[in-house]
Copies of this chain bind each other. A is one copy, B any other.
Amino acid sequence: MKRDVYLEDKPLEEAQQEYLAHLAGVGALAPGPSEVIAVEEGAGRVTAAPVYARTSSPHYHAAAMDGVAVRAADTFGASDATPKKLTLGAPAAVVDTGDPLPPECDAVIMIEDVHFIDENVFEITAGAVPWQHVRVIGEDVVATEMIVPANHRLRPVDLGGILAGGLTEIAVHPRPKVALLPTGTELVQPGVPLKPGDIIEYNTRVLGAMVAEWGGSPQRREITVDDYQALKERLEEAVAECDVVLINAGSSAGREDYTAELIGELGRVLTHGVAIKPGKPVVLGEVAGKPVIGVPGYSVSAVLAAELFVKPIIYSKLGAVPPVREKTNAIVSRKIVSPMGTEEFVRVKLGQVGDKIIATAISRGAGVIMSMVRADGILRVPRLSEGYNAGESVTVELMRPLAEVRETTVIIGSHDIALDVLANHLRQKYPFATLSSAHVGSLGGLSALKRGEAHCAGTHLLDEETGDYNVSYIKRLLADQPVVLVNLVYREQGLIVAPGNPHGIRGVEDLAARGLSYINRQRGAGTRILFDFKLKERGIDPDDIKGYEREEYTHMAVAAAVASGSADAGMGIRAAAKALGLDFVPVVEERYDLCIPGIYYDTPYIKRLLEIMIEPAFQKEVQGLGGYDLRDCGKIMYDSRG
C-alpha cells in the first residue's frame, strides 16, 4: 500500500509563468490557422488580420438631408432682402437623405429653407456653401483604410464598419477546441437515480460553459472509468483532435489518480501541485505540443484551476488577454484565518452598509459549489499572509457588478426559510435588487448591527426571565443605537426527527435519558439558546447530550443531518423538517423579528422588504411552508428611535 502521497507546493505565479513560458516555447499559445466567416456571424469573434475597407462609404456624394440639391454658385447672393428663384432641373433637384447628388450639384438646401412657388420653381433666402449637407465620398470609410486591427474582438458596431467598407467575409482566429474528459468510476450523468457513492458529473458542464464564455469551443466527452489504459486511449484521441485537453479529475495522488502519471508517460508534467486553496492538486502538462491539464475533482477547485490556468491559454490562442476582473475595496466583517504558505481564494458576500462595502466569508469547502453561486466576490489571501482581522480593509475581485452590490440589502443573523422566500419576491419585484443573508445566529446578527455591517438582523432571542423575545437583548447590546423591531413570523421550534419518529422522542428530556445523538446549532444561535433554556428548565447537563458539540449553521443543515441518520434529533423549525420529509416534535412557538437600525429604516434597502412582507403573495407562500403564523408580519414590535 505504497503511494506517492505528496504533491508539490509551487507558488501560483511561478507555476503560471513557467507553464505559459513552456507552452509559448512549443507554440501551444499561438492561434490556429485562421478561418473565414460571414461578417454578420462575427460578433464576439477575434480578427486574425487587420481588416481594410474595399470600398468607400458613402461611395457617391450623398444628400445628408431631405431638401433640394443645387450648384452652390447658383445660390450666391440670396438673402432675406434679395430672395433668389431657382428652377428644378437646371441642375437643381429635390433629394431625400441618402440620394446621390445630381451631376453638377455640390450642395443641399434643407427642405425647411426652401419655398416652392410652383411645382418647378422655388425660392431661397440664403446662399449655400459648397458641400453643405452633403456626405462626400468616404466620409465614413475610405477604401483601403484599416477598419479594425488584427486581434480585435468584434463588437456589433465593428460589423457595421466592416460591412460599410464593402466586405462580406473576414478572417478570424478559430475558437480553440477544448476537450473535457470526465473521469472517475463514481461519476454518473445528471438525471440518473443516485446510489451512495455516485457523484453527478457536472464539472465538465461548468467548465464547458466557462470555456464557451472565453471564446473557446468545449468538446465534452463521455465519462471514462478509472482505468489507466482506457484513460490513455481517451487522452491520445483528445490530443489528436483538440487544442487543449482538460482531464477531470484524478489529478491528486490517490490510489486511482492516474492523470499525472499518464501525462508524464505521453508528454511532460511541468507542475503537480500548486500552493493554492482550493485547487492544489492540479497537473500542468503538455502532450504533443498541446496543453493538457489535470483539473481537480472538487467543483470549486475545478473552477479556480480553470480560471487560473486554462483561461490565459484560451485568450492567448485568440490573440487576446483575459479581461481584468473589476475590484473593490471592502471591510472584512469576520476574522478570516488562512494557512501560511498557500494562496487562498475566499468566496465572500458583499454589501454596501453606510459608506463601507462589507465582505463576509462564506463556506470555504473545496466541494461547495454553492459558495461560488452565492459569492459576490473573491478575496485572495496571499501566500505569505495568515488572513485578516475583522475590520481590516481588503481588495476583493468582483463576481457581480458593483452597481448590483450597492443595491443589495444585507441581512446578517439568524436563518429562517422565510428569508429565502423574501429574497425571491424582492428579486421578482425589483430585478436589480438582492437580499443577501449571512447566517451567524441571532446574537451574531445583533453584533453585526453594532459594528455597522448590516442593514438588518433576523433575531429570535428568548429572554428567559420575561418570556419576551429580542427586546431585552437589543436594549443591552444596541443601547446607543436607535432601532426598529419588525415582526417577520411566529414559527414552531421543535425537535426534527427521522420519519415516523422511530425513537419515540417526546421532548428534549428524552435525548439525555436515552443516549440519543443530537445535532446542535452554533454558539449565539437563537435556537441554541432556546435548546439550552429547555435543558436548564429540565435540569439536564449539556454534557449528557451526545453530539452537543457538533454544530451546524442553519435549520436545513440540521435537518439534513437528521435525514442522513448522522443524528437522531436536532432542534429547528417545522418548515425544515417538512422540506426533507422528516417528523417534527413541537417544543415552542417563538417570535422571529427583523431588527433594523433607525438610519436604514427609511432607505430603499428596508422599504422594499417591508413592502413585500405585507403582500398576500409573500405571506401565502410562507404559510405554505408549514409551522408559520404571520399574524404580526410587518408590525412594529419595538421602536427606540426618538
> Could you tell me which A residues sit within 8 Å of B by CB distance?
1, 3, 5, 39-40, 43, 50, 55-62, 64, 66, 94, 96-100, 106, 111-112, 116, 119, 130-131, 135-152, 155-161, 163-164, 166-168, 184, 186, 190-191, 194, 196-200, 202-203, 205-210, 212-213, 252-256, 297, 299, 303, 316, 319-321, 323-324, 326, 365, 367-370, 372-373, 401, 403, 420, 423-424, 427-428, 431-432, 547, 550, 554, 556-557, 559-561, 563-564, 566, 579-580
CB-defined A-B contacts under 8 Å, sample of 5: A136-B566, A137-B560, A140-B370, A148-B373, A160-B303
Task: Establish whether residues B580 and A143, one from each chain, have CB atoms under 8 Å apart when the complex forms.
Answer: yes
Task: Establish whether residues A140 and B60, one from each chain, have CB atoms under 8 Å apart when the complex forms.
Answer: no
The distance from the CB of A362 to the nearest CB of chain B, in whole angstroms, is 12
The distance from the CB of A494 to the nearest CB of chain B, in whole angstroms, is 18
Complex CA–CA separation, A57 to B365 (angstroms): 13
Known A-B contacts A319-B431, A432-B321; the reply to A140 vs B556 at CB < 8 A is: no
Specify which chain B residues have a CB less than 8 angstroms from the CB of A155 in the assembled complex: 209
Complex CA–CA separation, A159 to B299 (angstroms): 11
The distance from the CB of A436 to the nearest CB of chain B, in whole angstroms, is 11
- A580's partner among B136, B144, B152, B208 (CB-CB below 8 A) is B144
Complex CA–CA separation, A157 to B202 (angstroms): 10
Task: Establish whether residues A97 and B210, one from each chain, have CB atoms under 8 Å apart when the complex forms.
Answer: no
- A369's partner among B43, B157, B299 (CB-CB below 8 A) is B157
Task: Establish whether residues A556 and B144, one from each chain, have CB atoms under 8 Å apart when the complex forms.
Answer: yes
Task: Establish whether residues A157 and B206, one from each chain, have CB atoms under 8 Å apart when the complex forms.
Answer: yes
The distance from the CB of A151 to the nearest CB of chain B, in whole angstroms, is 5
Find the residue from A106, A142, A427 having the highest chain B CB count within 10 A: A142
Complex CA–CA separation, A43 to B218 (angstroms): 13
The distance from the CB of A205 to the nearest CB of chain B, in whole angstroms, is 5
The distance from the CB of A557 to the nearest CB of chain B, in whole angstroms, is 6
Complex CA–CA separation, A316 to B432 (angstroms): 11
Task: Establish whether residues A560 and B168, one from each chain, have CB atoms under 8 Å apart when the complex forms.
Answer: no
- A424's partner among B146, B420, B431 (CB-CB below 8 A) is B146
Task: Establish whether residues B66 and A254, one from each chain, have CB atoms under 8 Å apart when the complex forms.
Answer: yes
Task: Establish whether residues A50 and B143, one from each chain, have CB atoms under 8 Å apart when the complex forms.
Answer: no
Complex CA–CA separation, A554 to B94 (angstroms): 31
Task: Establish whether residues B205 and A159, one from each chain, have CB atoms under 8 Å apart when the complex forms.
Answer: yes
Task: Establish whether residues A137 and B561, one from each chain, have CB atoms under 8 Å apart when the complex forms.
Answer: yes
- A557's partner among B3, B138, B164, B166 (CB-CB below 8 A) is B138
Task: Establish whether residues B373 and A423, one from each chain, have CB atoms under 8 Å apart when the complex forms.
Answer: no
Task: Establish whether residues B60 and A135, one from each chain, have CB atoms under 8 Å apart when the complex forms.
Answer: no
Task: Establish whether residues B57 and A147, one from each chain, have CB atoms under 8 Å apart when the complex forms.
Answer: no
Task: Establish whether residues A136 and B560, one from each chain, have CB atoms under 8 Å apart when the complex forms.
Answer: yes
Complex CA–CA separation, A61 to B136 (angstroms): 75
- A203's partner among B3, B43, B160, B368 (CB-CB below 8 A) is B160
- A159's partner among B60, B206, B252, B316 (CB-CB below 8 A) is B206
Task: Establish whether residues B427 and A152, one from each chain, have CB atoms under 8 Å apart when the complex forms.
Answer: yes
A130-B547, A144-B580, A148-B373 given; 4 more Cβ-contact pairs under 8 Å: A56-B560, A62-B197, A141-B369, A160-B372
Task: Establish whether residues B160 and A205, one from each chain, have CB atoms under 8 Å apart when the complex forms.
Answer: yes
Specify which chain B residues have a CB less than 8 angstroms from the CB of A160 in the assembled complex: 202-203, 205-206, 299, 303, 369, 372-373
Specify which chain B residues have a CB less than 8 angstroms from the CB of A148 in the assembled complex: 373
Known A-B contacts A61-B564, A159-B209; the reply to A428 vs B319 at CB < 8 A is: yes
Specify which chain B residues have a CB less than 8 angstroms from the CB of A424 in the assembled complex: 50, 146, 149-150
Specify which chain B residues have a CB less than 8 angstroms from the CB of A166 in the assembled complex: 190, 194, 200
- A252's partner among B97, B116, B147 (CB-CB below 8 A) is B97
The distance from the CB of A419 to the nearest CB of chain B, in whole angstroms, is 10
Task: Establish whether residues B145 and A205, one from each chain, have CB atoms under 8 Å apart when the complex forms.
Answer: no
Complex: chain B residue closest to A6, CB-CB: B112
Complex CA–CA separation, A140 to B579 (angstroms): 16
Complex CA–CA separation, A137 to B557 (angstroms): 9
Task: Establish whether residues B199 and A320, one from each chain, have CB atoms under 8 Å apart when the complex forms.
Answer: no
Complex: chain B residue closest to A299, CB-CB: B160
Task: Establish whether residues A1 and B116, one from each chain, have CB atoms under 8 Å apart when the complex forms.
Answer: yes
